[in-house]
Amino acid sequence: MWTFARLHHEMYVPLTNDWNRDHPDQPIVLSLLGIQAMEQRLLSSFMSGVPSAELLEVERAMSARAFAGPLESVGFTDITSLVERDGLRERIHPAAFKPWTMQGRIFGIPHDLHPVMLGYRADIVEAAGIDVAQIETWDDFVRVLSPLLLDASGKRRTDRHLLNLWETHDTSFEILTLQAGGGLVDSGGVPMLDHPANARVLAQAIDWIRGSEGIAGDAPYFNASGNQLLIDGFVIASFVPDWMCNVWRKEMPQLSGKVKLMPLPAWDAGGRRTSVWGGSMLGIARTADHQDRLWEMAKHLYLSRDVATKLYKEGDIVSPVREYWTDPMYDQPDPFFRGQAPGRTYINLADQVPDRFNSPFAQLANVRMQAAASQLSAYAIKSGITAREQLLPKAQELLVEAQRDVMQHVRRNRFYSERESVSTSGDLR
């Protein structure tokens, strides 16, 4: 078995030891590989027929290129019938299966669900007498928190922003477009950059970044300087999937007792209050022998209560297996989050997690989405037009151009060019 995540590897060691004790004739050898090395070995195996590990734990971007051809060329075993036979559709949240599904066929057991909330500086917000319960929409977010942008004399502060968002934050745009009803690719894996919801998000984001209010600031994720900006209160709120809680806990212990979590503000009243960021699965190599035994081992790892417990207690990750959601561990107050119970707050949003789909073109679509954001930002600076409604036509224009560019690559792959798309223009995007 190969895995790319050190935390996962540490959790699996005792479980594989248990398995090997009970199955001495076919022990599991567990290996930790770097993402790049694992991706290269995985794709080399799938494309050449050279054996790989039999069990493969992969993340979403790593597995995307495995779905570039027809179903019969996918290097993972089709486990759809096994999932249905063993009742996994009922046990695991349905949204968790979507990234590992191609043309209705499932190729991996989901490791996670990863709802997203806002992690915010509750110490600063509460000291100002602000109640975040008043926030339902993104417009509310700006209105309710805007007093934090002013100093004691009423002047605009230059050292504080409300939202950690910048034109270079590619993942943030996917989070927001998925929440708004758009995204990078449709259910068939075909890019959908020109979706109206994506243009809406792009226009609003550049308004937040370049507009007269200027509520967005750049505190880069996974970056020492970005961490220091969070500690300094440079931005009030950042996007935080469940696993990011563990990153904050380990990399910014100075934030302990200063932060809380709240649902994402909706794009419209009554709308979706979360999104999704990240994801992994466990698949079986199609060329592997002893498929039945590998399936049992995969279930032993991914459906184990022990793993669900360790996932949360050691990694802050909520299991996608719904029967474990009643576990009282998710209700335990966490001092880091000022006594909140993060697990329960994420679980309460689980049914709102949007579907997102995998595609060999998702990474390219993401690059073009970010490029469109940068182009719109440059347009706003040059033209002086920064209001979201005025930016919307230009955002749509840039995304149509981006879609046209990406589709040139899609049409070179006959397996995708032959698929129907849910294009808003009525043809293959």
Partners of 261 in beta bridges: 119
Please tell me whether residue 220 adopts helix, strand or coil conformation. coil
* Final residue in a domain of this structure, among 352, 373, 389: 352
Q: Tell me if 429 is assigned to some domain.
A: no
State the residue range of the domain holding 15. 2-110+277-352
- C-alpha 404/C-alpha 423 separation (Å) is 12
* Final residue in a domain of this structure, among 331, 352, 373: 352
- 70 and 196 in one domain? no
Per-residue pLDDT tens digits for 36-90:
899 888 888 888 877 889 999 999 888 888 888 888 888 999 999 999 999 999 9
- 104 and 246 in one domain? no
pLDDT at residue 417 in the model = 61
Q: Tell me if 169 is assigned to some domain.
A: yes
Number of folded domains in the chain?
2
Q: Tell me if 330 is assigned to some domain.
A: yes
> What Rg, from alpha-carbon coordinates, does the chain have?
22
- 219 and 163 in one domain? yes
Q: What is the mean pLDDT of residues 321-342?
A: 97
Amino acid symbol at 169: H
- 131 and 76 in one domain? no
- 247 and 137 in one domain? yes
- 123 and 135 in one domain? yes
Per-residue pLDDT tens digits for 171-215:
999 999 999 999 999 998 899 999 999 999 999 999 999 998 789
- 330 and 282 in one domain? yes
- 237 and 171 in one domain? yes
- 165 and 98 in one domain? no
Q: Tell me if 267 is assigned to some domain.
A: yes
- 79 and 186 in one domain? no
- 304 and 410 in one domain? no
pLDDT reading at 418 higher than 80:
no
Q: Indicate the pTM of the whole model.
A: 0.93
Per-residue pLDDT tens digits for 249-279:
999 999 999 999 999 999 999 999 999 999 9
Amino acid symbol at 214: G
pLDDT at residue 312 in the model = 96
The counts of H helices and E strands in the chain are: 18, 12
Q: Tell me if 50 is assigned to some domain.
A: yes
- 184 and 145 in one domain? yes
Structure tokens at 233: 């209160």
Torsion over CA: 167, 170, 176, 178 (sign): positive
pLDDT reading at 425 higher than 90:
no
Structure tokens at 286: 């199609």
Q: Tell me if 427 is assigned to some domain.
A: no
pLDDT at residue 422 in the model = 39
Partners of 3 in beta bridges: 32
The neighbour count for residue 423, using CB atoms within 10 Å, is 16
Mean pLDDT of the chain: 93
Beta strands per DSSP E along 358-416: none
Per-residue pLDDT tens digits for 211-257:
987 899 999 999 999 999 999 999 999 999 999 999 999 999 999 99
Q: What is the mean pLDDT of residues 96-105?
A: 93
Q: Tell me if 423 is assigned to some domain.
A: no
The phi and psi torsions of 168 (rounded to 5 degrees) equal -90, 0
- Residue 347: its H or E element: helix 342-348
* Final residue in a domain of this structure, among 352, 367, 397: 352
Q: Tell me if 426 is assigned to some domain.
A: no
Say which CATH number the domain at 297 has: 3.40.190.10
pLDDT at residue 428 in the model = 39
- C-alpha 349/C-alpha 15 separation (Å) is 30
